[in-house]
Chain A
Amino acid sequence: MKLNQLLIATFVGAQFAVAALADDATNNSTEAAEIAALKQEIQKLDQKVSDLETEHQAAQPATASSDNAQIQDLDQKVKILERQRELDQDAATAAAKTRPLVKLDASGFTFSSADTNFVIGLHGLIQFDSRSFFNEPGIKQGSDNFLLRKARPILTGTVFHDFDFNFTPDFGGSSPVIYDAYVNYRYNPELQLEAGKFKSPVGLELLQSDSWLFFNERTLANNLVPNRDYGAELHGDLFGGVAGYAAGVFDGAPDYSTPSSNQDYDNRLAFAGRVFIQPFKKSSLTALQGFGFGVGGSDENDQNSVSGLTAGYKTDGQQTFFTYSAAAVANGDHWRISPQGYYYYGPFGLLGEYVISDQNVTSGAKALDLQNTAWEISGGWVLTGENDSYNGVTPKHPFDPRNGQWGAWQVVARYADLNVDNQANNTTFAPAGSALRASGWSVGINWYLNRNIRLNASFSRTTFGDIVGAASAVTKQPENVLFTRIQLAF
């Protein structure tokens, strides 16, 4: 533009100059010379303008070409970034298929392979208790103490979808003990095979998880059922869980005690089994859906086996009130039967069982068929309205005082009675001080802060009767115990 203006101005000026000169053409020769000079100047200017125009046009393609190259370069970079993102997403998707899954919730830690062929769960149970005994003056019975009642890391898992396992040691006692170590194969819910060390399928309260008992300790009736045993059982849930069964062969366990060694000294196997039915579980009668009943039993034959006899029946405060004499051995058939049942409806829970433990016992030259019996009934009411169940209470409003949430509260009570066969009321079969009868009642309150933390306090009183000879420090007076517990379960 400026060039054009310059050109026009130059030419116009030149024209005026030429015109002025032309008007005075007749003047003299110097004017002609000036005109010639001006013409030369005009030609030079004209050439300069041409050169400038040529330069300008030459510059424009180079600029365009450089812009194009930049655009292409940027285009490539964008495409590379997009493609890299695609590849990263593909790689992430492929990696996700092999990445292990980790879950952490109220039921513990669970680790699973991406294909879920390997699943491991880490759970735990810690129970920190206190016991305070209230004795009559001058009679020392029981020790007031704090104790770590249970400290169990619980390792569970499933391999290849159908094989479950459980390994549970307990560090709460004076020495570590392996409580559970078993593998369970699930062909389907109706047919499963379990083998290893696990709870014998007899007692209802025994089979309930330690985490969800009404009270700190199980009842007197629990003294007569086998605890954990070594063996294998077939078991399953039928008709969608309406009925359940278990039947197995085991080493054989004395009343309550868990076999402390891995060997079965009497070379005889024991049979144990249980059937339990919840007939209304699938019905529309909601008030009866939580009703269940069944029967468990066992049979074994001991042969002069000291280990076949109970190490002693214990009170709620875990004091031994009955043992067999040192000379007594289990010798002959030992059978048990336990009709049992429970009922849960809303906040109400009720559990009861009756146990007969009939055992042939020999002491010296004398042999007796002793039939010991026990029964118990336990119940609870969740004051805050949550549902009670065989598997515990889950608070609707976990403890959070800043938001006015106080967890779940439950009051509980129970009564239990145990009777040793009166034939044992002599020092041939039971040492002096052993009580052949014990009756106990308990009341308490449970506070479920959340599904994992529970506090409780309870009071138990056990009275004794039919004492062999002179009463011992344990059986001389009723046992009165105040329990507290802090429990962590996950």
Chain B
Amino acid sequence: MKTFLKILLASSLAISAGAKEIKLLNVSYDPTRELYTEYNATFAKYWKEKSGDDVVISQSHGGSGKQAQSVIAGLEADVVTLALSYDIDAISQQAKILPADWQKRLPNNSTPYTSTIVFLVRKGNPKGIKDWDDLVKPKISVVVPNPKTSGGARWAYLAAYAFALETYGHDDAKAKGFITKLYKNVPILDSGARGSTITFAQRGIGDVLLAWENEAHLALKEFGDDKFEIVTPPLSILAEPPVTVVDKNAKRHGTTEVATAYLNYLYSDEGQEIAAKNFYRPRNQDIAAKYAANFTQLKLVTVDQEFGGWAKAQQIHFADGGTFDQIYQP
């Protein structure tokens, strides 16, 4: 027994002596703060048990487009967990620090969870907002971030545009007219989703916030469901926020193994539960069923279906001189 205890003690000491601290930087989009606070703690515990090493994960949050540009400019992200694949493609093309086929490396096109865009309105829904066409009525004030900087804003824009396409028989001119009227009702553009939530919920501006679904739920939690309520439109867009390792940075930092494990763990039961608890729609169907009450069923259209993919959507709508620049005058 004594010998066994000595061996156990020696092993523990050896493990402790060999344990190292690994640092990871996760550059993410704006509303994922709460998700990754919880997820990082769980992953750190998991990794400690698995490898004996301590992993310390730092987070950076901001509008998805801005975050991508920061990584391109040299922010040493080990992993990026952004709002849309286009922003990660931009990192691959401009900075060449991860391969072009990054999206194939993880299941579901490297999207461990999905989300959508819903409406957050004042309690009682005094303006009677139920669907996208209510947003273009006179005297309705809509809060949404700037699609030039925010991934969520681009999802919201495309969701509205998709509604218009579905409503007007895919008549692009009419859809453009619709989106023009919608943005005429937008008094202010924050750079990211979190800023828009502050504008709507804390500053009391606007009648409706076009928000990430999780952000809407968080707002109810934080500010009280006696002040706001969520209206889920019948149709919205399937938002697929992707994740990937930033290969060159991870290699330089010696963190490839743990960075890969960090993202893989998002697909585990624990990771999927954390996503669901934070109001992201998990890919795991069993866990999705468990948390079904959190998520309203609605018709979800994809970027590929309605817009021919992100590259095309970016080019037509969000590039300089694109549709957004044409229709929005500050």
Which A residues lie at the B interface, using CB under 8 A?
Answer: 76, 79-80, 82-84, 87, 90-91
Q: Confirm or deny: B169 has a beta carbon within 8 angstroms of a beta carbon on chain A.
A: no
> What 0/1 pattern do residues 175 to 189 of B give for CB contact below 8 A with A?
000000000000110
Interface size class of B (residues with CB under 8 A): 10 to 19
Q: Determine whether B52 belongs to the interface, using a CB cutoff of 8 Å to chain A.
A: no
- Report the 5 A-B pairs with minimum CB-CB distance, sorted nearest first: A80-B187, A79-B205, A83-B203, A83-B199, A79-B203
Other than A79-B204, A87-B188, A90-B191, give 8 A-B pairs with Cβ distance below 8 A: A76-B187, A76-B205, A79-B203, A80-B187, A83-B203, A83-B205, A84-B188, A91-B191
B30: min CB distance to chain A, Å: 14
**Which residues of the other chain, B, contact A76 by a CB distance below 8 angstroms?**
141, 187, 205-206
Q: How far is the CB of A89 from chain B (nearest CB, A)?
A: 13
What 0/1 readout, one digit per residue, does chain B (202-233) give for beta carbons within 8 Å of chain A?
Answer: 01111000000000000000000000000000
A84 / chain B contacts, CB cutoff of 8 Å = 188
Cα distance A79–B205 in the bound complex, in angstroms: 6
Cβ–Cβ < 8 Å partners of B195 in chain A: 87
Say whether B240 faces chain A, with CB atoms less than 8 Å apart. no
- In the docked arrangement, what's the CA distance between A90 and B62, Å? 13
**In the bound complex, how far is the Cα of B206 from the Cα of A87, in angstroms?**
16
Is B190's CB within 8 Å of the partner chain A?
yes
User: How many angstroms between the C-alpha atoms of A345 and B161 in the bound complex?
Assistant: 80
Contact A87 B204 (CB under 8 A): no
- Within residues 155 to 197 of chain B, which ones have a CB less than 8 A from any CB in chain A? 187-188, 190-191, 195
Interface centre among A80, A83, A84, A91 (most CB of B within 10 A): A83
B190 and A87 form a contact (CB under 8 A): yes
Residue numbers in B under 8 Å from A82 (CB-CB): 203
Interchain CA distance A91-B190 in the complex, whole Å: 10
Please give, as numbers and ranges, the residues of chain B lying within 8 Å of A83 by CB-CB distance. 188, 199, 203, 205
Provide 6 A-B residue pairs closer than 8 Å at the C-beta atoms, listed in order of the A residue: A76-B206, A79-B203, A80-B188, A83-B199, A83-B205, A87-B191
Write the residues of chain B forming the contact surface with A, with a CB cutoff of 8 angstroms. 141, 187-188, 190-191, 195, 199, 203-206
Chain A CB count within 10 A is highest, among B141, B203, B205, B206, for B205
A79–B201 CA distance with the chains assembled, in angstroms: 12
CA distance A55 to B16 in the complex (A): 87
> What chain A residues lie within 8 Å of B191 (beta carbons)?
87, 90-91
The docked-state distance in angstroms from the alpha carbon of A84 to that of B188 is 7
Nearest residue, chain A, Cβ from B187: A80
Of B187, B190, B191, chain A has the most CB atoms within 10 Å of the CB of: B187
Bound-complex Cα distance A82 to B203 (A): 9
Residue in A closest to B66 when the chains form the complex, CB atoms = A94
A232 to B307 CA separation, bound complex (whole angstroms):
62
Cα of A90 to Cα of B191 in the assembled complex, Å: 10
In the assembly, what is the distance between CA of A82 and CA of B191, in Å?
16
- Quote the shortest CB–CB distance from B157 to chain A (angstroms): 19
Alpha-carbon separation in the docked complex, A87 to B198 (Å): 11
CB distance from B64 to the nearest CB of A (A): 16
Chain B residues with CB under 8 Å of A87's CB are: 188, 190-191, 195
* Chain B residues, CB < 8 A from A79: 203-205
Which residues of B are found within 8 Å of A80, using beta-carbon distances?
187-188, 205
Residues from chain A with Cβ under 8 Å of B141 in the complex = 76
Question: Which residues of chain A are near B199, meaning CB under 8 Å?
Answer: 83
CA distance A82 to B199 in the complex (A): 10
Chain A, residue nearest B330 (CB): A84
A85 to chain B, nearest CB (A): 11
A87 to B189, CA, bound (A): 9
Residues of B within 8 A of A91 (CB): 191
Kindly list chain B residues whose C-beta atoms are within 8 Å of the C-beta of A90: 191
CB distance from A82 to the nearest CB of B (A): 7
Bound: A87/B204 CA distance, A: 15
| B70 vs chain A, min Cβ distance (A) | 11
A232 to B203, CA, bound (A): 63
Distance, CA A245 to CA B43, complexed state (A): 56
Residue of A nearest to B204 (CB): A79
Q: Which residues from chain A contact B204 at a C-beta distance below 8 Å?
A: 79
User: Which A residues touch B188, using CB under 8 A?
Assistant: 80, 83-84, 87
Minimal beta-carbon separation of A113 from chain B (angstroms): 13
Closest residue of A by beta carbon distance from B202: A83
Closest to A73 in B: B139
A236 CB to closest chain B CB, in angstroms?
Answer: 32
* B115 CB, nearest partner CB in chain A, Å: 25
Closest CB of chain B to A96's CB: distance in Å? Answer: 16
CA A79 – CA B200 in complex, angstroms?
Answer: 10
Tell me the complex Cα distance, A79–B199, Å.
9
- Nearest neighbor of A75 in chain B, beta-carbon distance: B204
**Whole-angstrom CA separation of A82 from B205 in the bound complex:** 10
Give bound CA distance, A87 to B190, whole Å.
7
Measured CA separation A87–B191 after assembly (Å): 9
A83 to B195, CA, bound (A): 10
Residue of A nearest to B200 (CB): A83
Cα(A91)–Cα(B141), bound, Å: 23
User: Which A residues are CB-close (under 8 A) to B206?
Assistant: 76
B202 → chain A closest CB, angstroms: 9
Residues of A within 8 A of B187 (CB): 76, 80
* Bound form: Cα–Cα A79–B195 in Å: 14
Q: For residue A340, give the distance in angstroms from its CB to the closest CB of chain B.
A: 48
CA distance A87 to B199 in the complex (A): 10
Q: How far is the CA of A83 from the CA of B191 in the complex (A)?
A: 12
Q: Please measure, in the bound complex, the distance between the C-alpha atom of A80 and the C-alpha atom of B204, giving whole angstroms.
A: 9
Nearest-Cβ distance from residue A65 to partner chain B, whole angstroms: 14
- Find the B residue at minimum CB distance from A77: B187
Task: With both chains docked as a complex, state the minimum distance between the C-beta of B126 and any C-beta of chain A, in angstroms.
Answer: 11
Complex Cα gap A183–B279 (Å): 57
Q: In whole angstroms, how far apart are the Cα atoms of A84 and B190 in the complex?
A: 9
Q: How far is the CB of B120 from chain A (nearest CB, A)?
A: 17
Nearest Cβ on chain A to B130's Cβ, whole angstroms: 22
User: How many angstroms between the C-alpha atoms of A82 and B198 in the bound complex?
Assistant: 13
